[in-house]
Every structure is written in structure tokens, then in C-alpha cells.
Chains A and B, each alone.
Chain A
Amino acid sequence: MCGIVGLFLKDASLEPKLGAMLADMLVTMTDRGPDSAGIAIYSGAGKGRAKLTVQSAHPGRDFANLDADLKDAIGTPVLMLIKDTHAMLEVPLAQLEAARSALTHLRPEVKVMSAGEGIEIFKEVGLPKDVATRFGIAKMGGTHGIGHTRMATESAVTTMGAHPFSTGNDQCLVHNGSLSNHNGVRRELKRLGMTFETENDTEVGAAFISHKLQSGDTLGHALEATLTDLDGFFTFVVGTKNGFGVVRDPIACKPAVMAETDQYVAFGSEYRALVNLPGIETARIWEPEPATVYFWER
């Protein structure tokens, strides 16, 4: 199974509540997958700043003085916000790659969950309720976000195997389904220079889309290419700096419901995930068509 939720806000007055709304939607989807949960939240892009969200199995050891050590390495002050096993490091946008590279020397065991102007990813093994609480998701504001609760099929239940997967700056993907040709596609993407953290099928889907975007494709074209090049079952929800997209495979047996009002566009694996959103009674509600790309950007 797996449960997916997504929320793209059109009404800025809802932005302070994004995390709370998204966490509520994700908790409702708990019984679609109890193995691990994750959320990507986008906020604050376009201000010349960038965020690195990192994870450690030993946060006490790895996050101690990390901001000071990074400052020494890149020569500018670093703002660090520690949340449980994750830390968000904010640096000037121009220093993002320098910070990321310094991190690999300073704290080799730390994993980068996401990097970019807007994106922050928090994911761990456990139930959505517990994961959302550990990372204080309900207190986070933002413009759009996606969430996932996992029932593992293709790879181990680990933090790195949880969704969302991020394989490019400000990009992430969540997936309900399973890909059958991921090993072959991974080999080809590695040859083209993409790097992988796991043996997970979804990470291949994410890297496939990231590679297309790096090659100059639009998000729409990249999503359309999944229909011809990826084999298997999928409902994908993709986040980018400016918006989110949805695509389902041609068989479309993995469920999807969408709702749109003047205030937001919302995605849920089931209608249940949407029932607490404001104005849902009068929202336009529909199932995304199979083999059809949808995306919303601001």
C-alpha cells in the first residue's frame, strides 16, 4: 500500500498552518503503511538563502558544534536548528555546495536528506504521528509540502529507505507502488553520473526525474517520461521549489484523490486524508486520470 498526501497552498493566509494541515492528513493515512514516515516542506525560497537538512544516527555526537565547524570551513555564519535526529543548516545560497562538500569531511556519517532554497525533509522509521511529533511538523509553515507513510516492499525499513527521496536541489518524490525495472534504470543513471544512497526502487524514480530536469527538461516532460521508461505500478507526487506534480501509471491501480479550492490543491491516497481541509465540502474533487501529468506551480 503506502499512503501519500500533498498540499499546495494558493492562499498565503494558510501558509503558517501548512505543517499542521499536512501532518493531520498524513496521520489519517497511517493504516496504509506503518513502517516509516516522512514529510517535505517548502518555505522561504527566493531570499538568497539555502537549507541543508541532515540526519544522523548519533545526533548528540554529530551535531555538536557543527554550525561552528561549518562556519570555519566555508567562512560565513551558519544557522543550525536541531530537531531530534535531523538538523537544518541555513547558509547563503552561494555557499550551499561548499557547505555540502565540507560536511562530507567534517561529519562523514551524516546523511543529507535535502538541499535547496525551500525544501526541508524529515523522515524516520515509525508511525506518522510519532515522526510528525519528533520533528515538530505541526509548527512548520510553508508554501507547499508532501508526505508519505510507507509499507515497505522493495527495500529495507530504514531511515534512508523512507520517503520522500530527494535526488536534486529542491526536488523530492514520494511513491505508492513498486517499480520492476529499477535495477536497470539505476545502472543507466549511474553511468550518467547520478548517485544513489539505497537499493530502493523509489529513489530510482526520483533520480530519473532529477536527471531529466538537470538535462533541461521541464517538470511536465520529466513526468511524462516516467510513463515510457519506468515499468511497474506507481502513483508519484513530486515536489519542486515552485510547486508539485502528480502522475499515475497507465494501469492506475494505486489510488489517488485530488481536491481543489481557491485556497489550495490537495492530494490524498484516499478521500479520508482530505476531510479536515477547510472548504472540502464545496471543493472540486476528482481522481487523477491514468498516464496523465498534472502539476501546479506558483
Chain B
Amino acid sequence: MQTFDLSKDGLRALNSSLHALKGQTNMTAWEVINPKGAHAIAAGVDAPVEITVRGSTGYYCAGMNKQASIFIKGSAGPGVAENMMSGKVVIDGDASQYAGATGRGGLLVIKGNASSRCGISMKGIEIVVHGNIGHMSCFMAQSGSVVVLGDAGEALGDSLYEARLFVRGKVKSLGADCIEKEMRPEHYALVEDLLRRGEADHKAKPEQFRRYGSARKLYNFNIDNAAAY
């Protein structure tokens, strides 16, 4: 276990040490102490390592993550796991706005609530939120899946492409071109798998969820839809 004291050694030393792990795997467990809301902690890691951050983080923690499993033992600031490619990010507390934005792969688990714009423009990432998500979540979400055990804020899935959204609680409003869809057997299986991997299978059952997806009316310009653009 490598322990890194961020208040003593600084962010650049941490991230350059983590970036240097690319291609080697003999230092697989890292602990970051005294994060104190610092920005860009463990951003750009590309190695199959486990990183535990003991406290709350600022902007862009675990951004662009590839392969690594990153555990935040606190809350995360804006843009956590932004553009994640693969691996896993697990947050014990809440996540601020645009968690998992533009993510292409990997699994993001938020055990508290996520703020506005969670999963905005996501492109393949899987997101499990144990609590609620804020307004404009999954805006222009292209692919991937989101499972929310709590409620969703205004304009869920506005201008949605092919991402699959599953919400157990109330949805305050659906965005343009986002509609409720039937839960078919493959969707129950998908939610069951995500609940298990998202450490939420003891909290919820797949049959409690409703599915939301794209009506596919905004894909191409259609003069009859002008008011909706």
C-alpha cells in the first residue's frame, strides 16, 4: 500500500506517480490522505490499480480514468469521473454537478445523491446512483445505462439518444424527446446486474424501476418538430 499525503506532497507529485504506473502493475494499492477538496485527484490514471481517497474531493476527480478502481471515502466535487474510459469509481457520499459527463466506459457508483447534469452526454459509461439525481441529468446521453434508486429532477434525458435510463422514484419532468418505455425481460436483467455491481442489490429490486428512453423524434430535423428543438 502506497500512502500519499496530498497536503504534504502535492497534487502534481501524486498524479505523475500514478501516471507512471502505466504498463506496470506491481504497486496496485494506493491511499490518498488529506484530499481537502483538491482538484483533479487521480485524473488520467491508466493502470489496473486501486486508489482510495480518504475524504472529499474537488473538481474532476478520477477524470478520464482507464482501468483503475477509485474509491472516494467522502463526497466528490463537479465533474467526477468525467470522460471515464474504463475501470470503476465508487463515491461513498454525494457527487456534485455533471458526474460521469461524456463517460465512454467503466462503472460510476454514487452512494449518496448526484447533483444536476449527471451523465450529461454520456457515451457508454454505466452509472448507479443510490440516491437522487438533479435537473438536466442525461442531457444528450448517447449510450450506456443509468440506474437511479431515488428521484430524478427536471428535464430528465432531454434530447436523449440511445442511453437507457432506469428510475425507481419520481421523475419531476422528462426532457424533450424522452419518454417512458416498457420494461422487457432484458431490461430487468440489465438493472439486476447493475444493482449488483453498483452495491445496491440489497436496497432495490429490478421490478421497482421504470425505463425511460428516446422517442427518436429529434434525430433529424423535422419541420413539424420545430417547437421542440
Contacts and interface: CB of A to CB of B under 8 A. Distances in A.
A253 B134 CA distance: 12
B38 A272 contact: yes
Please tell me the size bucket of the interface on A: 10 to 19
8 contacts: A251-B136, A252-B135, A255-B77, A271-B77, A272-B36, A275-B37, A285-B56, A285-B75
Contacts of A90: none
8 residue pairs, one from A and one from B, having the closest CB atoms: A272-B37, A271-B37, A275-B36, A271-B56, A287-B115, A272-B58, A275-B37, A252-B116
Contacts of B96: 255, 257, 287
Interface in A219-264: 250-253, 255, 257
A117 interface: no
- Looking at A250, A287, A290, which has the most chain B CB atoms within 10 Å of its CB? A287
Interface of A: 250-253, 255, 257, 270-275, 285-287, 290
Contact of B58 (A253, A270, A287, A290): A270
A49 to B, nearest CB: 39
A252 B77 CA distance: 14
B102 interface: no
Contacts of B214: none
Contacts of A274: 37
B87 interface: no
B74 to A, nearest CB: 9
A257 B74 CA distance: 14
A270 B77 contact: yes
Given A255-B96, A290-B134, 7 more contacts: A250-B135, A252-B135, A257-B96, A270-B58, A271-B56, A271-B75, A286-B94
Nearest to A285: B75
Interface string B86-97: 000000001011
B78 interface: yes
Interface residues of B, number: 17
Contacts of A270: 37, 58-59, 77
B111 to A, nearest CB: 15
Contacts of B94: 286-287
Contact of A253 (B37, B38, B59, B97): B97
Nearest to A273: B37
B127 to A, nearest CB: 18
The A contact surface, by secondary structure, is loop
Contacts of A252: 97, 116, 135
A151 B29 CA distance: 40
B110 to A, nearest CB: 13
A256 B184 CA distance: 40
B101 to A, nearest CB: 12
A290 B116 contact: yes
Contacts of A285: 56, 75
Interface in B100-145: 115-116, 134-136
Contacts of A255: 77-78, 96-97
- Looking at A251, A255, A272, which has the most chain B CB atoms within 10 Å of its CB? A272
Contacts of A286: 94
A290 B153 CA distance: 11
A290 B135 contact: yes
A248 to B, nearest CB: 10
Contacts of A250: 135
Contacts of A257: 96
A140 to B, nearest CB: 25
Contacts of B59: 270
Contacts of A273: 37
A271 B37 CA distance: 6
A250 B134 CA distance: 11
Nearest to A286: B94
A250 B37 CA distance: 25
A255 B78 CA distance: 8
Nearest to A252: B116
A62 B131 CA distance: 59
A252 B154 CA distance: 12
B112 to A, nearest CB: 10
Nearest to A290: B135
Contacts of A287: 94, 96, 115
A275 B77 CA distance: 13
A250 B155 CA distance: 12
B157 to A, nearest CB: 17
A251 B78 CA distance: 15
A272 B39 CA distance: 9
